[in-house]
Amino acid sequence: MMRRLDANQITTIVVWAALLTAPLWVNSVGGYMALASRVVVLGLAAMSINFLLGFTGYMSFGHAAFFGLGAYGAGFTLKLLAANTLLSLLLGSLLGGVLGALFGLLIVRRRGVYFAMVTIAFGQVFYFIAYRWNNLTGGDDGLRGFSRAPLHFGPITIDILNNAIAFYFFILACFAVITGLMGLILRSPFGHTLLAIRENEQRARFLGIPIERHVWASFSLSCFFMSFAGALYALLNNFADPSNLYYVMSGNIVIMAVLGGIRSFWGPLLGAAVFVVLQDYLSSITTNWMSFVGLLFVLVVLFFPRGLLGFVHTRGPQRDTAAG
């Protein structure tokens, strides 16, 4: 008898079907390739923060700092080291990931509101550095003068600089790698421990689980993933600038995760898609798009706190009860 596909697997199939075929249908719905690429990159960012938020239960509101660090890291690499796209991705994510790990050590004992406030403030520190350290980062003008380099695999050259579709698939490939990694981690015993911490931290502590170490690891990993997304973003724009680190960016990424559903693996990607497309569409037809986006935040929090995919539980031993 054929095993019934669970909701998770169905979602995964639908998501990948949509992503892979995007170049075929994106223009007919009034979109364009750069928009699709942006959805994927910000979707990755939203999924990265959800690693910490939805799966470990810790709210960081300063995560844009790592997004920006990834962007600047990639930019510096392309500008100062070598015109090598893969290297820029690696170094960009390392920059954010390592700094995130270090920063995580400082704050891992905080909880709840205090944790959130500290992450907000520290996020602003990094924004501040990017903004003020003019000579290095270009300050308010941003880091310019670099662009993604075509990929060379032996005899094959993929021109991701000028070919929007090729670049989209490159981003998708990176997305696949990182989300695959995320999925593997979440399915592992480590991932299950994170869920335990999310559900009831005190009980997990009584069970002897070293909470701080796990939280730190989760935080560092989410910073690494977030920086990777930031590096991709720099490649998308051929530009890195301080607003990538600003707390408004943090807020936008969190709302994407919440909108899509923080208890769902693919939720944040869907949330990112809705948010990016809505913002793109609204800002073309009205200058008051900010009010609508703000209204979206309010409505999601009040009426859709579980998000669009929130009715699907992801994995594991929890039984969904009617009280939900």
Which residues, numbered 53-92, are part of the site for another protein (CB under 8 A)?
A: 53, 59, 61
Out of 20, 132, 200, 205, point to the residue binding another protein (CB under 8 A).
Answer: 132
Residue 21 makes contact with another protein by CB under 8 A:
no
Question: What residues does 151 pair with on adjacent strands?
Answer: 158
Show the tokens assigned to 183.
């999925």
Out of 20, 121, 176, 184, point to the residue binding another protein (CB under 8 A).
Answer: 121
Out of 147, 158, 169, 185, point to the residue binding another protein (CB under 8 A).
Answer: 147
Residue 169 makes contact with another protein by CB under 8 A:
no
**CA-CA-CA-CA dihedral for 58, 59, 63, 64, to nearest 10:** 150
Please report where in the chains the tokens 């929890």 appear, as a residue: 318
Residue 64 makes CB contacts below 8 A (sequence gap 6+) with 123, 127, 244, 245, 246, 247, 248, 249, 250, 253
SS3 content of the chain, % helix, strand, coil (to 5): 70, 0, 25
Show the tokens assigned to 23.
């170049």
Residue 205 makes contact with another protein by CB under 8 A:
no
Residue 189 makes contact with another protein by CB under 8 A:
no
Between 153 and 243, name the residue whose CB sits nearer to another protein.
243
For residue 288, the tally of other CB atoms under 10 A from its CB is 11
Residue 25 makes contact with another protein by CB under 8 A:
no
Between 34 and 181, name the residue whose CB sits nearer to another protein.
34
**CA-CA-CA-CA dihedral for 88, 184, 269, 303, to nearest 10:** -140
Q: CB 154 → another protein: shortest distance, Å?
A: 26
Residue 32 makes contact with another protein by CB under 8 A:
yes
Residue 112 makes contact with another protein by CB under 8 A:
yes
Q: Which stretch binds another protein (CB under 8 A): 89-97, 151-159, 208-216, 316-324?
A: 316-324
Give the distance from CA 84 to its chain's centroid. Answer: 23
Between 157 and 288, name the residue whose CB sits nearer to another protein.
288
Please report where in the chains the tokens 């991701």 appear, as a residue: 160
Between 155 and 294, name the residue whose CB sits nearer to another protein.
294
Residue 127 makes CB contacts below 8 A (sequence gap 6+) with 64, 65, 68, 242, 245, 246, 247
Between 6 and 212, name the residue whose CB sits nearer to another protein.
6
Out of 45, 255, 269, 272, point to the residue binding another protein (CB under 8 A).
Answer: 255
Helix (H) or strand (E) holding 42, with range, is: helix 33-56
Between 4 and 154, name the residue whose CB sits nearer to another protein.
4
The DSSP-derived string for 296-312 is HHHHHHHH-TT-TTTTS
CA distance 283 to 296: 14
Residue 13 makes contact with another protein by CB under 8 A:
no
Out of 3, 202, 206, 208, point to the residue binding another protein (CB under 8 A).
Answer: 3
Between 174 and 270, name the residue whose CB sits nearer to another protein.
270
Residue 274 makes contact with another protein by CB under 8 A:
yes
Residue 134 makes contact with another protein by CB under 8 A:
yes
Between 55 and 239, name the residue whose CB sits nearer to another protein.
239
Question: What residues does 191 pair with on adjacent strands?
Answer: none
**Site size for another protein (CB under 8 A):** 94
How would you label 136-146 residue by residue, b for 16+ Cβ within 10 Å and e otherwise?
ebbeeebbeeb
Residue 23 makes contact with another protein by CB under 8 A:
no
Footprint (CB under 8 A) of another protein, residues 281-300:
281, 283-285, 287-291, 293-298, 300
Burial class for 103, CB neighbours closer than 10 Å (0-12, 13-18, 19+): buried
